[in-house]
Amino acid sequence: MSRLFTFFLAGLALLAQARAAEVKVAVAANFTAPMRQLAQAFEQETGHQAVLSFGATGSFHAQIRHGAPFEVLLAADDETPLKLEQEGLAVAGSRFTYATGRLVLWSRQPGLVDDQGELLRSGRFQRLALANPKLAPYGSAAIETLNKLGLLDRLRPKMVQGDNIGQTYQFVATGNAQLGFVALSQVQTAGRIAQGSAWIVPARLHAPIRQDAVLLNAGQGNPAASALLAFLKGEQARALIRGFGYEI
């Protein structure tokens, strides 16, 4: 009897493996840390595996238009998924906002950035990093913030641009720039700034950074793709996303 039960369990395991699938996911660079954790939780819960690629939303848009085989896009904005739907490259009605991002001015040096961002007005720094505003919504939000503060033209000579928010973070983390505009999720752990000093930019200074997910045409019929989108709407995923400083 025990041997039959062992065979039964083995059969169930093989059946589960047969039903498991992979989904190719293009992920906005700001969402790197939470998505890595979400992918692990997703695999544990469903058996499906998320194969992740990280980068700038604008770059992903161009790649998808040229036939890149991504099945799900987790964008850093809400405009790109809408464009993909309008271009016939994404499944209509599959879009939803999985997170709203927060912009932060950050330095790895403790005490450098004050909690009102007055350091920007003083100009007592050499380089200010931000993401390419043409490709990365966080870069666009940084430009909008500086413009509203009346500092854009004054600080333009000090700016260095990363291709995406991940590269921008590296500029600051390695000391190549004293400070930079990055995503709060990149520097916050358990509700606190992990290291250095930071000013969380008030939401009134830039348009909301609504980050939408969308099912791409290549993902139609892939159970792992639809399962991932459903998982991101669940409370387990939402709690983890909140922990990285995003709003839901």
**Residue 135: per-residue pLDDT:** 84
The topology (CATH level 3) of 103-200 is D-Maltodextrin-Binding Protein; domain 2 (3.40.190)
This prediction has a pTM of 0.80
Task: Please write the tens of the pLDDT for every residue from 61-96.
Answer: 999 999 999 999 999 999 999 999 999 999 999 999
Cα–Cα distance for residue pair 106/181, rounded to 1 Å: 6
Q: Mean pLDDT in each 10-residue stretch from start to end of the chain (248 residues)? A: 47 48 95 96 98 94 97 96 98 97 96 96 96 92 98 98 94 97 89 89 96 98 97 96 89
134: helix, strand or coil: coil
* Within this chain, domains 2-100+209-243 and 103-200 share the same CATH topology: yes
In CATH terms, 2-100+209-243 corresponds, of 3.30.1330.60, 3.40.190.10, 3.30.450.20, 3.40.1260.10, to 3.40.190.10
Per-domain residue ranges of the chain: 2-100+209-243, 103-200
Angle of CA points 87, 89, 90, to nearest 5°: 110
Q: What share of the chain is helix, strand, coil (3-state, %, to 5)?
A: 45, 25, 30
